[in-house]
């Protein structure tokens, strides 16, 4: 069990590292409208994940409630999160955005405790506090401080809550016996549909077709879609199924630092000695917060009759 948990931790650390790299890739693509980039990325990821549906083609009768929950994941943690993220960063600073998104583990732990019955130990609480302090150090050192920006910060907070909501719904679906891979691909496609509807409400299809994208920019978009969105989503959703929503969310503390390291590597941004302290605090917080204490809600070992294939 311990070895399996360590492998899960390494996998989640790898996912967060990919997401940190994705921040740099998206930053490189700022010459395009954010909604365009998000919609194209999610669509490519959906196409990459689509063959999974073939594996479950005989097991799609999962019940109306589960389909509603899947649509909820797509609407919250994919569509609404991406839309509000793209909007919020236009009205607040990058530092504020990073810090508000860094509240994810705390919000997840509290809501998982209230809605899913996941435990909240002193160790998990301390881990959240230490990890968030590390995120705070990264944000202040990189952006020079925190300044309230009204509606921009409110939109970012809503964006963070939408991602948390999606994670809780994923955990709920896993507890109901829906395979992780099926959760990932179907929620992805629900999100893609919602994103295209939103994008076409903002601009006509001719506008997006008329944008000039170089081969290298397409390569960056493809790498972002495949590595971060497709592979990252599968790993993250599997982590939520195995560890619970709140323990998995602890790893998100590492994303600001990962993006900072990749920005230094690829964009020439400078690292400081204080970032080493932040790294130690984030790693320590993740270690404290993700260690198993209370017995988590068990995932059913008997899959409903309409689900005979496990993820």
- So where are the chain's domains? 2-290
Using an 8 Å Cβ cutoff, are 252 and 22 in contact? no
Eight-class DSSP state of 236: H
- pTM, two decimals, is 0.78
**Residue 297: pLDDT over 70:** no
- Nearest 5 degrees, angle CA 187-CA 165-CA 95? 110
Task: Give residue-wise pLDDT tens across range 211-259.
Answer: 888 999 999 999 999 999 999 999 999 999 888 888 888 888 777 778 7
Task: Give residue-wise pLDDT tens across range 58-71.
Answer: 778 889 999 999 99
**Residue 76: pLDDT over 60:** yes
Using an 8 Å Cβ cutoff, are 188 and 45 in contact? yes
CB atoms within 10 A of CB 103: 18
CA dihedral 14, 18, 23, 29 (to 10 degrees): 180
Task: Give residue-wise pLDDT tens across range 135-152.
Answer: 677 666 655 555 656 787
Q: In the prediction, which pLDDT does 295 show? A: 47
Number of H helices, E strands in the chain: 16, 0
**What does the chain come to in residues?**
311
């Amino acid at each position: 069990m311990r070895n399996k948990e360590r492998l899960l931790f390494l996998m989640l650390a790898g996912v967060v590292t990919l997401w940190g790299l994705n921040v740099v890739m998206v930053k490189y693509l700022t010459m395009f409208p954010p909604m365009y980039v998000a919609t194209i990325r999610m669509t490519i990821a959906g196409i990459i994940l689509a063959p999974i549906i073939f594996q479950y083609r005989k097991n799609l009768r999962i019940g109306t409630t589960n389909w509603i929950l899947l649509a909820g994941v797509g609407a919250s943690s994919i569509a609404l999160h991406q839309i509000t993220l793209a909007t919020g960063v236009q009205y607040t600073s990058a530092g504020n955005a990073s810090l508000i998104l860094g509240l994810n583990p705390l919000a997840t732990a509290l809501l998982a405790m209230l809605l899913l019955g996941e435990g909240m130990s002193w160790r998990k609480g301390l881990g959240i506090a230490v990890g968030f302090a590390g995120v705070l150090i990264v944000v202040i050192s990189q952006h020079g401080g925190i300044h309230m920006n009204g509606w921009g910060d409110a939109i970012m907070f809503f964006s963070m809550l939408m991602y948390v909501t999606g994670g809780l719904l994923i955990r709920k679906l896993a507890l109901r016996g829906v395979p992780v891979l099926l959760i990932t691909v179907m929620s992805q496609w629900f999100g893609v549909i919602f994103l295209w509807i939103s994008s076409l409400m903002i601009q006509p299809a001719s506008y997006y077709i008329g944008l000039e994208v170089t081969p290298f920019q397409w390569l960056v978009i493809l790498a972002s879609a495949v590595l971060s969105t497709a592979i990252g989503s599968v790993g993250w959703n599997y982590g939520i199924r195995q560890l619970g929503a709140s323990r998995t969310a602890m790893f998100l503390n590492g994303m600001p630092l990962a993006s900072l390291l990749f920005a230094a590597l690829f964009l020439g941004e400078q690292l400081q000695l204080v970032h080493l302290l932040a790294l130690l605090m984030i790693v320590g917080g993740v270690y404290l917060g993700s260690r198993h204490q209370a017995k988590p809600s068990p995932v059913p070992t008997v899959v409903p009759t309409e689900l005979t294939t496990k993820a």
